[in-house]
A = this chain, B = another copy of it.
């Protein structure tokens, strides 16, 4: 075995096949797996578990950092292995099982899962499966392309199975900053005071803060050799570019008004085409010495670093296309000066988010005229992916922005509705709403003022009159937040009954 990969010689005896390692996993157990947006997830054990389930009854609770590869969620769902799943997912097969009530899905703020585990408020982790680039001399685990919940899963688990992935380069070492909050009632402040604050260890210590590493917890080591699945990026289009442009113009205005400087504030951005378009927008324009304190580092962040505009990005995972993975792997020395990965409870920690004063930009599924945002439920009932970190950021950022295209399905759906069919982010937490039509600045506005600016600025022309009609009727009913309750979801029911919100009465 490569001594660079397993630096504690006594652990070499733990190397086994994936089949042998999987024997530690029993029916009914709670399993914590590494992985966050397909990065650093388990490559070998899931397939073995799926295969075993064809021969024996095997149901587990599966916890991860966030979404993971299809080879995990899709495969394990098809095999009937997943009884319970948290805190986030993005797989179509699993989504279907969740919406059919076959998998109990607990949609959680991404900062909270390990808090609940640490407080023994949810069932503990029996076995943790953690992908590693290497194991240190003392038995610490060097993670790969995500940190996610791996550090705490390893700390809480009775047994740890390490997937040592030879395809994850050793150049990843030094990218991680593993800080775990001390236990209550003597918990200390999280000492992060800037995106580039290094406050922890470069490896996962397998034990609570202050206690020695216990390498005996490593029950098995499985050697793998498979790169992460790359993501595919939807290309930018006129609408995503328009959204990005509205937001950039707004930020320029904030600078002009003296509320921000051209250094802005640490940026947080969700993933996807809009987010990439917004981040690309920063390459041109007057902003400089930007920083990022976010969940995920995506392609556009590398462009921002290369352009000299972004000095540092803190996140919990990469989420990259294949060319960008290659770019990172060929240039560790360059990029490691500008990036680090933290546990997701720190990347998403309310304490740090409030302290740093983030500009948070996330995607809404739908929003309503008062600024309430639905991030998760299609038609109020069917789970899309999950709330992810959007609530951690929305509740605590300096500037909370939600973006969405104003229509979907060729205009059959308006993303701005009379009342959202599910609330993930109450209007108290929403500062800006941006569509390709324009931007609504909701700060300091009462609901009746918000309705006006949202309808005027964000709604697609197809729906503007109908929304004005709704609001006018609502005003006749009065109230701080006027509504016609029996018609509040008429757009949603029109869509479910006729396939087009424009048929709402």
Contact = CB atoms under 8 A, between A and B. Distances in A.
A445 B106 contact: yes
A324 B257 CA distance: 48
Chain A residues touching B, range: 35 or more
Interface in A241-297: 257-259, 263, 265
A52 interface: no
A-side interface mostly: loop
A381 B451 CA distance: 13
A496 to B, nearest CB: 7
A399 B116 CA distance: 10
Interface in A450-505: 474-475, 477-483, 485-486, 488-489, 492-493, 496
A138 B98 CA distance: 64
A396 B429 CA distance: 14
Given A105-B446, A381-B485, A189 B189 contact: yes
B98 A383 contact: no
B485 A496 contact: yes
Nearest to A352: B351
Copies assembled: 2
Contacts of A167: none
Interface string A401-413: 0000000000000
Interface in A176-195: 181, 184-191, 193-194
Contacts of A492: 485
Interface stretch (A204-212, A232-240, A301-309, A353-361): A353-361
Contacts of A227: none
Interface stretch (A6-14, A32-40, A118-126, A142-150): A118-126
Nearest to A446: B104
Interface stretch (A18-26, A151-159, A329-337, A417-425): A417-425
A105 to B, nearest CB: 5
A449 B84 CA distance: 11
A121 B443 contact: yes
A478 B187 contact: no
Interface stretch (A66-74, A312-320, A372-380): A372-380
A105 B443 CA distance: 12
Given A105-B446, A106-B445, A116-B443, A485 B481 contact: no
B122 A443 contact: yes
B444 A482 contact: no
A109 interface: yes
A187 B428 contact: no
A93 to B, nearest CB: 15
Contacts of A123: 444
Nearest to A95: B480
B480 A105 contact: yes
A488 B486 contact: no
Contact of A486 (B120, B477, B493): B493
A27 to B, nearest CB: 19
Interface in A366-393: 372, 377, 379-383, 387, 391
A357 B187 contact: yes
A478 B381 contact: yes
A100 interface: yes
A477 B492 CA distance: 14
Given A355-B187, A387-B428, A382 B446 contact: no
Contacts of A350: 350-351, 354, 395-396
- The 8 lowest CB-CB distance pairs between A and B, nearest first, are A381-B479, A189-B189, A383-B480, A423-B423, A122-B444, A351-B351, A104-B446, A350-B350
27 contacts: A99-B478, A101-B482, A104-B448, A105-B480, A106-B444, A107-B480, A109-B429, A116-B443, A116-B444, A120-B257, A120-B259, A121-B443, A184-B355, A187-B355, A189-B193, A350-B351, A377-B480, A380-B483, A381-B474, A381-B478, A381-B481, A382-B478, A391-B426, A421-B485, A422-B481, A485-B489, A489-B489
